[in-house]
Amino acid sequence: MAKFAVLQTFYASSSWRNFRLGLIAERGNRCERCAHIIAKPIDIIGHHKIELTPENVQDHTISLNPERVELVCSDCHNQEHRRFGYQSKKSVYLVYGPPLAGKKTLVRQQMRRGDIIVDMDRLYEAVSGLPAYDKPDGLFGNVIGLHSLLIDNIRTRLGKWGNAWVIGGYAERFKRDRLADDLGAELVFCEASRDECLNRLATDEQLRHRQDEWVKYIDKWFEQYRG
């Protein structure tokens, strides 16, 4: 059976996500190391000065303490972890949850340079040259082909990547568990209620003209979901 990734599940929790957003609102979008402006909020990383472990993550004086968290850019963050010789073992994470739950944000925050990411949306973008929300049906066969190839690479640990992140809805428990077992992946649930997803949809500029379509994606996920 697949294991649950305690640390990544913490980073997916709404307590951490709200905590991080609160820090950004308070401190602004300058990297606290190099003082550069970080243009997109998704790229602002909350770095724990005391490295989080499965043992200390539940201690909120460590994991949710403003004095122990720095907001940094990804360059500084990569440097920080290199400097301390931090080398995580090769882990595979299956990040799942409803549309607009924040799966991409989670991965962007937790990944390191040299990790591999497998995400249908990104593959679609790469192949079609179109924005992420526009996915011509005709390209599906080619995109899923690439996806399968990368999944295979991960299963066989082919290549010199650090960690692997497989992102998707994976609402159906049976399929999700089977894929996770197959890949030797740890499960990371990006939790969000249907209302939270619909709220994000309502305020998403890029999806402004695709609201109906996305309400369907969201509803479908919640219909299929088995925890």
224 contacts 173 by C-beta, under 8 angstroms: no
Which window, 27-35, 143-151, 175-183, 219-227, contacts Zn ion (CB under 5 A)?
27-35
Residue 78 vs 153, nearer CB to Zn ion = 78
| Tokens linked to 67 | 């004095």
Residue in 25, 34, 126, 202 binding Zn ion, rule: CB under 5 A:
34
Site string for Zn ion, 47-76 (x = CB under 5 A): x-------------------------x--x
**Residue given tokens 């882990």 in the structure block:** 91
The SS3 of residue 70 is: strand
The SS3 of residue 220 is: helix
Residue in 2, 5, 31, 150 binding Zn ion, rule: CB under 5 A:
31
Number of residues that bind Zn ion (CB under 5 A): 6
Which residues does 106 contact at the CB level (< 8 Å), separation at least 6?
8, 11, 12, 95, 188, 190
Of the candidates 116, 141, 143, the residue with the CA atom closest to the CA atom of residue 132: 143
| Tokens linked to 30 | 């300058």
Residue 31 vs 117, nearer CB to Zn ion = 31
Closest distance of CB 162 from Zn ion, Å? 14
Which window, 1-9, 33-41, 93-101, 103-111, contacts Zn ion (CB under 5 A)?
33-41
Say how many CA atoms lie within 13 Å of 28 toward its Cβ. Answer: 6
Residue 74 vs 153, nearer CB to Zn ion = 74
Closest distance of CB 115 from Zn ion, Å? 14
Closest distance of CB 196 from Zn ion, Å? 26
Number of H helices, E strands in the chain: 10, 7
116: which strand partners?
A: 164
Residue 1 vs 37, nearer CB to Zn ion = 37
Closest distance of CB 86 from Zn ion, Å? 8
Judged by the rule CB under 5 A, the positions of this chain that interact with Zn ion are 31, 33-34, 47, 73, 76
